[in-house]
Amino acid sequence: MGALIVFIILLLGIAIALVVYNINLRRKLHVLDNTNQKVNSLNVLQDFMNTISEQITADEKIRKINEILIERYKIKYSTIVIYNGAEYEIKASNVEKKHWDTLKNLQSEKVFIDSIQTATTKYITVNGENERLPYLKMEYARAKSAMFFPLYIDNIYIGYWIIEGSMPHEFDNVDTTVLEVVKNNIISVLRTVENQRIINNLVREDLYSGLKTAEYLYSGARTVIDRYPTSAVCLFKIVNLPKINERVSRKTGNEVIAKVCKLIKENLSNEYFFVRYNGPKFAIVFSGSDVEGVAQFMKDIKARVETTKVKPREDYRADLAAKPMPYVLPRINVVVTTYYKGTALEGLLLKMEEYLDNANENENEINYL
């Protein structure tokens, strides 16, 4: 009898030890799982930063970020929706387009209104396969769980990120703190790409030169320019353009701009970017070229420009006391320097502009900075 009691106590001890072991094991696994999620979050953040620095369009960055989220977090569906000032627009989604009308109007769904108003995450799910999420209309079988994240920049609501799963209770054990970090990273990316989009939208085509404005160098052209570790940058100024406008005519000055730009543009390759920088100043980025070669090229261009005769246009009103002017000759001052990939191109051009604005108008050399 005593031996039986000892045996039972031994079994109870073993059972208790196993329970304690299992509890500790589950706790360690939970800690490990959380650690893995946090490491994964750091990796995702690094991928985000790499994407931001890529020379691709703002919309391409958002789509790539959504792809990273889907891949790294094994999410079935992920959709980012942004209000563009007029309507809600899907910026990235791996859901079939036939469902986009539903996904871009979730701000009107009763189930999400409180989430938007309080800036809190909303998690909804179903209990059975025959149930459907309240915002789904025709495609109720597609998703069975969803987490809705309203997005705010400086306390201003700008849209939402929604992730969806195909199984009931799919996100029950997801670490929401990690997803909140991801959401904040999405907001940071959106802030960055919005700044890029603003620059893109500022690009215009100049009426007289037919060139894009300077903002193009910081947006579309940058993709090509930064393929190379260094490039040569040229800024030149038609130094006598103000006098031509004043003493001959405005239309004659416009014709000078058109002829000078046409002459130069015809001699540039597709990877060289020629823009109207500011007033009588024009910029050219020679992607991947060295300064010495560009200086020789601009020396030849300068000689050709300054022998280009431009006849006064019909708005020319010659001074009766002076001999009529048969033509005008443009004169340009040129400065060249090296741009290094990843540095501030806009700051470099400002420095070059300052040099030209303070240079002697009668300079006849190609100047280096």
pLDDT tens digits along 11-43: 565 556 555 545 554 554 444 344 444 445 556
Instruction: Dump pLDDT digits (tens) for 54-107.
Output: 666 667 788 888 888 888 778 889 999 988 777 888 888 998 888 888 888 898
Range from 31-40, 232-241, 338-347 that averages highest in pLDDT? 232-241
Residue 201 reports pLDDT greater than 80: no
pTM of the model: 0.54
pLDDT at 67: 87
Q: How far apart are CA 246 and CA 135, in angstroms?
A: 66
pLDDT at 148: 92
Q: What percent of the chain has pLDDT over 90?
A: 2
User: CA 11, 13, 18 angle in degrees (round to 5)?
Assistant: 95
Residue 366 reports pLDDT greater than 80: no
When comparing pLDDT for 288 and 220, which is higher? 288
pLDDT at 25: 46
pLDDT at 182: 78
Nearest one of 328, 326, 324, 325 to 308, comparing CA atoms = 328
Contacts of 80 (CB under 8 A, 6+ apart): 62, 65, 66, 90, 91, 92, 93, 159, 160, 161, 186
